[in-house]
């Protein structure tokens, strides 16, 4: 009974830690399953009453122990579990090999339909809508702009969000304002923050 409780707790603990997907094609799940089958085989797959440690002689007044394999026997359940582990891993390896690109090259090649086109057929890109500012530059511009607003800079700071959005077909970096410190929040929280910073990434 103790061994059953131990294995159930062990299964629950490892499941919580590793969260393997319930998918027979997942190697993570198969290793999880085979690992627990191995633990069950070790706990329940050997004959009862086996003494693996045997004192063989006394040297310098101390008894020395050695491994004793006498009577060591795998029972029927153990044989079934060990065979199941080997069968699962062998079958999974065989399926993985058969379905690999080495043997399914033609099927993999037909997944994507290739259509030949001429470069002249592609539409031209509008360079006026291509971003030329990266995130760090947008943050510097936003901080500089906020610093020019004397009535805002002492109360607020720009958040680190700077999310990239497309507005009317043009890319922008947008971030909200935050209170500069708890005192500023206490003095202004009743009004809320209605402003935000929008940085044009093109111009």
91 CA to centre of own chain: 26
The pair of structure tokens assigned to 8 is 């159930």
Query: At 158, phi and psi to the nearest 5?
Result: -80, 135
Kind and range of the H or E run holding 43: helix 27-44
pLDDT tens for each residue of 152-199: 888 889 999 999 999 888 899 999 999 988 888 888 888 888 889 999
Distances (CA, A) of 66 to 47, 54, 63, 71: 20, 6, 10, 15
pLDDT by residue for the chain (203 residues), tens only, comes to 788 888 899 999 999 999 999 888 899 999 999 999 999 998 888 765 555 555 555 555 565 555 555 556 788 888 999 999 999 999 999 988 888 888 888 888 888 888 888 887 777 777 777 888 899 999 999 999 998 988 888 888 999 999 999 988 889 999 999 998 888 888 888 888 888 999 998 87
pTM (two decimals): 0.45
Contacts of 72 (CB under 8 A, 6+ apart): 46, 47, 50, 52
Write down the pLDDT at residue 12.
92
């Amino acid at each position: 009974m103790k061994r059953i409780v131990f294995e159930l707790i062990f299964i629950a603990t490892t499941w919580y830690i590793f969260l393997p997907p319930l998918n027979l094609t997942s190697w993570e799940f198969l290793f999880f399953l085979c690992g627990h089958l191995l633990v069950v085989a070790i706990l329940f797959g050997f004959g009862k009453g086996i003494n693996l440690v045997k004192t063989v002689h006394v040297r310098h007044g101390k008894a020395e122990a050695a491994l004793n394999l006498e009577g060591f026997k795998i029972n029927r359940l153990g044989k079934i579990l060990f065979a199941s582990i080997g069968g699962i891993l062998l079958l999974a390896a065989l399926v993985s090999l058969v379905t690999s690109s080495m043997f399914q090259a033609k099927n993999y090649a037909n997944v994507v339909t290739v259509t030949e086109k001429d470069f002249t057929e592609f539409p031209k890109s509008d360079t006026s809508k291509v971003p030329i500012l990266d995130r760090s530059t947008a943050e510097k511009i936003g901080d500089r702009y906020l610093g020019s607003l004397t009535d805002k800079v002492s109360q607020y700071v720009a958040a680190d969000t700077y999310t990239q959005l497309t507005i009317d077909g043009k890319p922008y970096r947008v971030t909200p304002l935050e209170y500069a410190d708890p005192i500023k929040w206490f003095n202004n929280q009743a009004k809320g923050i209605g402003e935000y910073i929008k940085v044009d990434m093109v111009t």
